[in-house]
Amino acid sequence: MANDITFSMIKPEAVKEGNAGAILKMIEEAGFKVSAMKMTKLSKFRAGQFYAVHADRPFYTDLCDYMSSGPIIALRLKKDNAVNDFRKLIGATDPQKAEEGTIRKLYARSIQENAVHGSDSDANAKIESDFFFSGIEKY
């Protein structure tokens, strides 16, 4: 489907370290079209809502602290097979397990500070992009 979408965030440490431009370049060169983009800072509460599915995990509190520690860049991206292709582009959650040439292998610091988020299903891509973008912000 030509209008498949996925949702991504460039996470606080990647923005702080000045890697947002290089990461966006990789995303565009891999054939993704930016359909919406926003720099914003999540409160702990909003980070907790976004990652509510992980609320029972031991890393949840740290994750919410980290994701609210600085600005992030939220992205809605379009491409055929967007969810799966984007997950291949970013690599495994743990950068030590990520393949060479993936965004996380190149830019992540740790399993938590892993540079980017990518949706894990079409349904979550819609939920996650609607969390950040209203109808008139999506192109």
Closest CB to ligand CMP among residues 50, 133: 50
Residue 54 annotated in active site: no
84 binds ligand CMP (CB under 6 A): no
36 binds ligand CMP (CB under 6 A): no
Q: How far is CA 80 from CA 1, 7, 85, 90, in A?
A: 5, 14, 8, 16
Q: Which residues contact 103 (CB under 8 A, 6 or more apart)?
A: 23, 26, 27, 89, 90, 91, 115, 116
Candidates 16, 17, 45, 59: give the one binding ligand CMP (CB under 6 A). 59
Tokens of 15: 């923005």
Closest CB to ligand CMP among residues 78, 117: 117
127 binds ligand CMP (CB under 6 A): no
111 binds ligand CMP (CB under 6 A): yes
Q: How far is CA 104 from CA 100, 127, 138, in A?
A: 9, 23, 26
| Cross-strand pairs, 75 | 8, 37
Binders of ligand CMP: how many residues, by CB under 6 A? Answer: 8
Q: Annotated active-site positions, please?
A: 117
Question: Which residues of this chain interact with ligand CMP, rule CB under 6 A?
Answer: 54, 59, 63, 93, 111-112, 114, 117
